Amino acid sequence: MDTPLASDKAPGLLRNRFMQVILLSNLLLQLGIWVRNFAILLYVADTTNNDPSAISLISVAEFAPIFVFSFIGGTFADRWLPKRTMIWCDFLSAVSVFAVLLAIHFGSWQSVYFVTFISAVLSQFSQPSALRLFKQHVPEEQLQQAMALFQTLVAMFMVLGPMLGTFTYSTFGLETSIAVMGVIFLLSALVLFLLPKDMQQSQTGGVNGEFRQQFMEGFRYVWRSPVLRMLGAAFIVAGLGVGISQTLNLFVVTERLGKNEEFLQYLLMVNGAAMLVGGGAVAVFAKRVTPQLLLAIGMLVSAVCTAFIGYSTSVPLTLFVQFLSGLAFPCIHTGISTMIMKWSDSSIVGRVNGVLNPLFIGMMVVSMSLAGALKDMFSLVSIFTGAGVLYLIGALAMVPIMNQQKPENAQAAPPAAAVLDMDRR
């Protein structure tokens, strides 16, 4: 009975106006982000002579604001019109980029950190707004495929992004790279005007009342759902593992493989090519696999691959393991996104994201902040093995909820409006 539906999913999804616009906007943003990421990484590495603390501070600047502002951004995203919110966020990001560009031009090189910082703050209002639009404009049975398609686009830039970012910085320098990012944010804001008109009623439904009450409701909603609670536990341990491994990848290249810093782009390209393949596979088979199982598979494979990357001193072996890791990553991303949307009422999805995201990001920021110190104390082999164990614990956290059904069938969490009514009593 599910087979004919599955065969119709991809064409119907790609004809969806919302999907067309949101994918085009994300394509532009991915281009700008990758140019930014590599320009800042290579610039800081050149300026500080590969200082581990300075390099890890880039990641802290990117992810620390997520921990601080995700709660607030998710609450406001449930109150505001999502299309308008996303447009304003992209526009303000562009303005902030040009302001920082002026500071860099007049000699304040440390301002490069603020490019990432400000963008990360604004994304905490834009991202949950995008989730609300997915809930509104994508049929529920297509959500997992939509997330897989979204991840495939990200994977495409895992392949192209490092080349584009390195080429732009090497050819034109930091200031041009930053300016490109600002222009791309403006273009993304213009593209978002093509989104379907905001549903006025969805902005008020289920989010009336005081801000503090709505803010706390996100925590209560997550706590009452067994699935969201375990997802939160998986986020905590996975965040610790991701932060360590991502921050120290550059040193895997230079110390374990004996290559220069620019070789990192090839590792990321191989990983991205595998993500492209894996995202396509998830999109095809999404109907047959539960998001819990997808997430568990992705984290289990990541556990093994992360440990192997720490041990390997062979370039071909490391590239092969990176490819396997990339195949599994779309399972993680798609599983997480689908679980958040399926187990959250549309009126509270922003706040649920605002509660869960900081659990992952907060732990990732902690491990990123400690990565430099850990490298001074332990070998890369020990650090990456520990990161692999953390991934494994995250995979095991999915076992108790593997057979849970979405709330419409199993009532895993009460509707947001019902909980708000209980609060009023």
Write the DSSP string, 26-37. HHHHHHHHHHHH
Whether residue 252 is predicted with pLDDT greater than 70 in this model: the reply is yes
d(CA 89, CA 97): 12
Q: What is the model's pLDDT at position 318?
A: 93
pLDDT of residue 329: 84
How would residue 192 be classed by pLDDT, with cut points 50, 70 and 90? very high
What does the pLDDT read at residue 60? 78
Give the C-alpha distances (Å, rounded to integers) separating 198 from 87, 117, 142: 12, 28, 21
**HEC string of 350-391?**
HHHHHHHHHHHHHHHHHHHHHHHHHHHHCCHHHHHHHHHHHH
Distance CA 330, CA 154 (A): 10
**Which are the contacts of 25, defined by CB distance < 8 A and separation ≥ 6?**
86, 90, 188, 191, 192
As a whole number, the mean pLDDT across the chain is 82
Residue 319: pLDDT band by 50, 70, 90 thresholds?
very high
Determine the 3-state secondary structure of 230 from DSSP.
Answer: helix
Q: Is the pLDDT higher at 1 or at 358?
A: 358
Q: How would residue 270 be classed by pLDDT, with cut points 50, 70 and 90?
A: confident
Residues 6+ apart with CB under 8 A from 388: 241, 302, 303, 304, 305, 306, 307, 310
Residue 423 has pLDDT above 80, yes or no: no
How many angstroms separate the most distant Cα atoms in the chain? 65
pLDDT band for position 6 (cuts 50, 70, 90):
very low
Closest CA to 64 of 75, 56, 52: 56
Neighbours of 13 (CB within 10 A): 20
| Residue at 255: amino acid letter | E
Q: What is the pLDDT of residues 103-113, one digit of tens each?
A: 887 777 788 88
